[in-house]
Amino acid sequence: MSGNQNNAPEETAKTSPVFRAILVLIIGVLIGYFVYATTVHEGSKYPFRLGLDLSGGSHLVYEADTSSVDPSDVPELMNVLKDVIERRVNVFGVSEPIVQVETSSIVSGEQKERLVVELPGVADVDAAIAEIGRTPLLEFKLVNLQAAAAAQLQAQFETSGGNVNVIPEDGTSSEEYIETGLTGRYLKSSELVFGNGTGSLANEPIVSITFTDDGAALFEQITREHTGEQLAIFLDGEVVSAPRINEAISGGKAIISGNFTAPEARELVQNLNFGALPLPIELLSTQTIGASLGNEILQKGVKAGAVGLVLVLAFMFIWYRLPGVVAGIALLMYALIMLALFKFIPVTLTSAGLAGFILSLGMAVDANVLVFERMKEEFRSGKGSREAARIGFQRAWSAIRDGNVTSILSAVILFWFGTSIVKGFALVFGLGVAISMLTALTVTRTLLLALPETKKEEKTLLSRLFGSGFSK
């Protein structure tokens, strides 16, 4: 009776690793089926997202003019600008556009803020530029009457052949317009109304705008402190109207009247509702990638990944024999997990990202190589295969941990300081290193411990399969 009780735990211990190995294999099959099913079926909820260089489209780089704003406000304004452009490109039907803010390195000199716009599937770059460029820059500036009068007098002197510089008597700025800080960033909505007054305002198309809470407070402050002065309304750097402030205006509403026709006013309302730019932007560069070229790059990248995977698997099978087969299964599971994560996160795959994935395939077996070399030493010293595997993992863990942590740190630094292309590589590479460490410590270990126990001195086929290299 007692003998049966003592044998039960031993039998459970022997079957438990096998059960865990079967469970791991079932999970791997399910992940593989998910990747396959969501790839071959069109219209899947989890497709692969391909970057511009793989799917074709237009790549635009804009530079924002931040010279007239407080440096502390630049990050917020750039995020607002990013949201505005995203709304603009979404309106004309671009599939999954990518809009990113990039800040140039301080090391390179003057810090510049740039906006990278990627429009997959859009080959007509001129149409894309025109669509983004139609978004107006809305600004409110006070009219400097002293400077305006001085400029008018200066023009009269120059017309008559004089060369005298006219300076305002009170020593105020020579700029004709004074910044107020009230721009399109504070715009909430706009609508088209028609004047119901008499004379020139009868049935005139007017654009009524509503500010956000912060914008309403700023607008009320400006009108209260500058009652009796003129407030000029600029659209894309041109004055459309300059009404006189008769009293403080609360409620956050204002009107823009500039002798618009009804279609012009309607278009302006539409553009403002899509988002007025909080900062002026200048187009720096454009690039168009055809769909056929993107498809060719994708095919070559997939082929390179497949060849790399086959070569790594072949090396592991030949050199490490049965443990190499286990490592091959773990590597396949690693690839499937990565592909599933690309769909779930989702990760936008670019050519640089494919390069990071292919590189991570080779690094994914690093942990296995370290473990197998340690395990080989223990196995040759007379220990059983399972005990050798346990000791191999224990002794190789510190090297695996340190190597992977340094690789992940490198990926984080590249992602933090790199451009959009470098970030794609860094994200996939860093994710690959983390997942490879996970598969090495779970999948490989679980499968190795599930294999039948053997020792080197047994001289059986199984013991020979636990050898490595050209040794018996």
Q: Do the domain assignments include residue 13? A: no
pLDDT value for 170? 47
List pLDDT tens digits, range 29-43.
999 999 988 888 777
Higher pLDDT, 361 or 314: 314
73 DSSP assignment = G
Residues 213 and 352 in one domain: no
pLDDT value for 57? 78
Which residues partner with 238 through β-bridges?
235
Q: Do the domain assignments include residue 355? A: yes
Residues 263 and 300 in one domain: no
Q: Please tell me the total count of domains within the chain.
A: 3
Q: Are 188 and 215 in contact (CB under 8 A)?
A: yes
pLDDT value for 196? 62
Parallel/antiparallel/unpaired status of strands 231-235 and 238-241: antiparallel
Q: Which residues contact 141 (CB under 8 A, 6 or more apart)?
A: 177, 178, 179, 180, 231, 232, 234
The mean per-residue pLDDT over the stretch 102-127 comes to: 71
Kindly list the strands in the beta sheet with 202-211, ordered across the sheet, starting from the edge strand earlier in the chain. Answer: 187-196, 202-211, 253-256
User: Does pLDDT of 471 surpass 60?
Assistant: no
Residues 177 and 300 in one domain: no
pLDDT value for 31? 92
Lookup result for tokens 């996939």: 428
Q: CATH number of the domain that 75 lies in?
A: 3.30.70.3220
Higher pLDDT, 144 or 220: 220
List pLDDT tens digits, range 386-425.
888 888 888 888 888 888 889 899 888 988 877 667 777 8
Q: Are 78 and 113 in contact (CB under 8 A)?
A: yes
Q: Are 276 and 135 in contact (CB under 8 A)?
A: yes
What tokens were used for 133? Answer: 């460029």
Alpha helical stretches, state H, 275-384 = 291-344, 351-364, 366-380
> In 3-state terms, the chain is what percent helix, strand and coil (to 5)?
60, 20, 25
Q: Which residues contact 411 (CB under 8 A, 6 or more apart)?
A: 426, 427, 429, 430, 433
Among 144-153, 222-231, 344-353, which stretch is predicted with the lowest mean pLDDT? 144-153
The mean per-residue pLDDT over the stretch 278-307 comes to: 80
Higher pLDDT, 3 or 290: 290
pLDDT band (50, 70, 90) for residue 107 = very low
Burial class (CB in 10 A: 0-12, 13-18, 19+), 193: middle
pLDDT value for 14? 47
The mean per-residue pLDDT over the stretch 313-331 comes to: 87
What tokens were used for 292? Answer: 């056929």
Among 106, 135, 164, the domain boundary falls at 135
pLDDT value for 269? 78
Strands (E), 131-265: 138-143, 177-183, 187-196, 202-211, 231-235, 238-241, 253-256
The mean per-residue pLDDT over the stretch 79-90 comes to: 76
Among 111, 135, 159, the domain boundary falls at 135
Residues 118 and 168 in one domain: no
pLDDT value for 6? 46
Q: Are 436 and 327 in contact (CB under 8 A)?
A: no
pLDDT value for 409? 92
Higher pLDDT, 217 or 386: 217
3-state secondary structure of 299: helix
pLDDT value for 114? 87
Residues 302 and 184 in one domain: no
pLDDT value for 154? 55
Q: CATH number of the domain that 215 lies in?
A: 3.30.1360.200
pLDDT value for 26? 93
Residues 294 and 431 in one domain: yes
Q: Do the domain assignments include residue 78? A: yes
Residues 449 and 346 in one domain: yes
357 DSSP assignment = H
Q: Are 431 and 337 in contact (CB under 8 A)?
A: no
Residues 232 and 372 in one domain: no
List pLDDT tens digits, range 6-28.
443 444 444 588 888 899 899 99
Q: Do the domain assignments include residue 434? A: yes
| Rounded Cα distance, 347 and 351, in Å | 13
The mean per-residue pLDDT over the stretch 230-259 comes to: 80
pLDDT value for 19? 87
Number of H helices, E strands in the chain: 14, 13
pLDDT band (50, 70, 90) for residue 217 = very high
Q: Which of 186, 189, 154, 184 is nearest to 168 (CA)?
A: 154
Residues 301 and 368 in one domain: yes
pLDDT value for 257? 72
* Angstrom distances, CA of residue 10 to CA of 4, 194, 446, 451, 453: 10, 89, 18, 16, 14
Residues 328 and 447 in one domain: yes
Among 104, 135, 166, the domain boundary falls at 135
Q: CATH number of the domain that 328 lies in?
A: 1.20.1640.10
pLDDT value for 221? 92
Q: Do the domain assignments include residue 230? A: yes
Q: Do the domain assignments include residue 283? A: no
User: Does pLDDT of 201 surpass 60?
Assistant: no
Q: Do the domain assignments include residue 10? A: no
pLDDT band (50, 70, 90) for residue 167 = very low
Please measure the distance between the N-terminal and C-terminal CA atoms of the chain and give it in whole angstroms: 44
Residues 93 and 142 in one domain: no
- Predicted TM-score of the model (pTM): 0.60
Q: Do the domain assignments include residue 413? A: yes
Residues 39 and 161 in one domain: no
Task: Return mean pLDDT, the chain.
Answer: 78
pLDDT value for 376? 82
Q: Which residues contact 231 (CB under 8 A, 6 or more apart)?
A: 140, 141, 142, 143, 180, 222, 223, 242, 243, 244, 245
User: Does pLDDT of 171 surpass 50?
Assistant: no
Its domain, for residue 381, covers 22-49+290-465
